[in-house]
Chains A and B, each alone.
Chain A
Amino acid sequence: MLTKYLSNRIGKAVVFYLLCAPLYAEEDKFADLEVSGFARLVAGVLDDNHAAYEGYDNSLSFSERSLLGLQMDARLSAHWSVTGQAVAHSSDVQESGVEWLYLSYHPSNALQIKMGKLRTPFFAYSDVIHVGYAYHFISPPQQVYSPYFFDSFDGISANYNISQTTFATELDVYYGKFSDDIHYDILRIDTEINAFRGIALSLSKDNFKFRMSAHTGDGNLNIPMISEVYDMLKQTNYVASAQSLATTGQLNTYQLSLNYDAIDYFVRSEIIRLTTPIALYPKITSYYLSYGYVCYPFTLHMTYANSMTSKASPVIEIPHGLSAKTDTLASTYLQIFDTLTEDDLESLSLGLRWDFSPGMAVKLEWSHLRGEPGKRSHFNILQPTDFDYRANLVQAALEWVF
């Protein structure tokens, strides 16, 4: 099964590599061309057969998070470079292909401007979410790093960083557009976000690093069934009901994180909030707190994460019994709200990372998940009547960067 996934999914990345390879072979001639990459082999199993979580069920799976990524950085001149990154996922839910392709202008060490297909810098690990070697978890808390927050967008970004005598500052601003499917379990929501823009400010002093960011954009979800009901409600003058099903509106995301790094331990914390008038999107407030103890080359971590979500409520406007047609419309309208999900979930994870060689690490992680009965809680619930919303996820990973 794994072989089949890898052979299918890695194909695109191999093509990308083959395109790069002749250039790589000329590395001595063009010293400013670099090919690098990352890979992870992750196995996981859930101890419950009534639900699945992040694709894991009660049979051991290697295909949910395993991937291979290749990156090419080509310096065109002293100030200009091109970067491309392709990722092949073993999971069916994640789309394989080119994740990045941008032109970069680097007038000084302090300033960098990028244009093209860029990573979305929503949260602290968003732009390296596929590079497991870059963080201590096997999977960053799902409550914060939820698939609602897409990986990449097309646009322009600027990064400015400067270090003063006592503190360092980094500022990111970007503007662009997102147009693709947002995948969430079995759902694929055709989404367009125009005037997508954001700002992220990081301040570092001694062992502390603080990051705050805000992201916004004009969202437009293309869901034909909802649009049909929306039109019918509008035509029959149930304007408030129609408005509650609007598939356009502003999507706003806010983030704060505070990290502390000592040589033998670290603390990571992050809180995020998503608000939008679009009924189909939940309002999300999530956070995590992670403590890591470092006994080189081993790192132990304990991470607590929680998410609180709220879904939109239907407008009670359509009278019952007026006509069969109106009753059907009201019923369809209410059914849409019934399908909306809430993802309240608490989790506690314990993990061990062993950096056994430069660029390589092995990780083990156990997560206890406590969902809220009656809500989806990030689970794909297979047997609702028997599921107690408690489950344990065990994962093991081999991380590699090269």
Chain B
Amino acid sequence: MRLVVLIASVWLLLLGASPTLASANNDIVVVANLGGKTLQLSKSQIRSLFMGGSIGYHLHVINLPPSSLNRVKFNTKVIGLTEDRIQSYWAQMRFSGRRTPPKELADEKSVLHYIINTPGSVGYLPANIQIPNSLSIVYQTKGSAPVAPGG
């Protein structure tokens, strides 16, 4: 699995230089349960939020595991760091007593289920996943065309 993540990372780096190829399936949407409210966040705020910072809203972050391809995409497109450097960052934050890494759930389905059922939660999902009306898209990577809301 680690090899798949490695190959995906290399491809994402290559694709990053080619916007036409990069869009479609590689895009990510950041989804929050805001109780029907809308909110638009900048890339900088999303990055800060997922790196344990405060953006002035009561949101708590849900992450995918390091083996997830969508986590690799999110790291590459939004955080702008490879997984090893993110792990180093969290070691620095944890052992300096500043911040702790976000809770991780096993897969995208679990993340979506958790966000639907947990007010104030926020997580990222692939852009081609169906997002329920009750959730808000607070950020999407360029080229994202989220699937029309379902139930």
Contacts and interface: CB of A to CB of B under 8 A. Distances in A.
Contacts of A263: 13, 16, 76, 80-82
Contacts of A109: 53-54, 58
Contacts of A133: 87-88, 91
Nearest to A83: B97
B95 A112 contact: no
A135 B88 contact: yes
A361 B91 CA distance: 12
Interface string B128-144: 00000000000000000
B34 to A, nearest CB: 16
Interface residues of A, number: 57
Interface residues of B, number: 35
B66 A296 contact: no
A161 B97 contact: no
A210 to B, nearest CB: 15
A207 B97 contact: no
A109 B53 CA distance: 7
A8 B95 CA distance: 24
* Chain B interface, >50% SS class: helix
Interface of A: 34, 36, 38, 69, 71, 73, 83, 85, 100, 102, 104, 108-110, 112, 114, 119, 121, 125, 127-128, 130-131, 133-136, 159, 161-168, 170, 204-207, 261-264, 266, 294, 296-297, 299, 353, 355, 357-359, 361, 401
17 contacts: A83-B97, A109-B58, A119-B96, A121-B96, A162-B53, A162-B54, A163-B54, A165-B45, A168-B48, A204-B48, A205-B44, A263-B76, A294-B82, A296-B82, A297-B6, A299-B85, A355-B83
Given A38-B95, A206-B44, 14 more contacts: A71-B94, A100-B97, A112-B98, A133-B91, A163-B54, A165-B45, A204-B48, A205-B44, A263-B13, A263-B81, A294-B82, A297-B6, A358-B83, A361-B84
Query: Which 10 A/B pairs are nearest by Cβ-Cβ distance?
Result: A163-B48, A355-B84, A110-B54, A109-B54, A134-B92, A127-B96, A296-B82, A134-B91, A131-B95, A165-B42
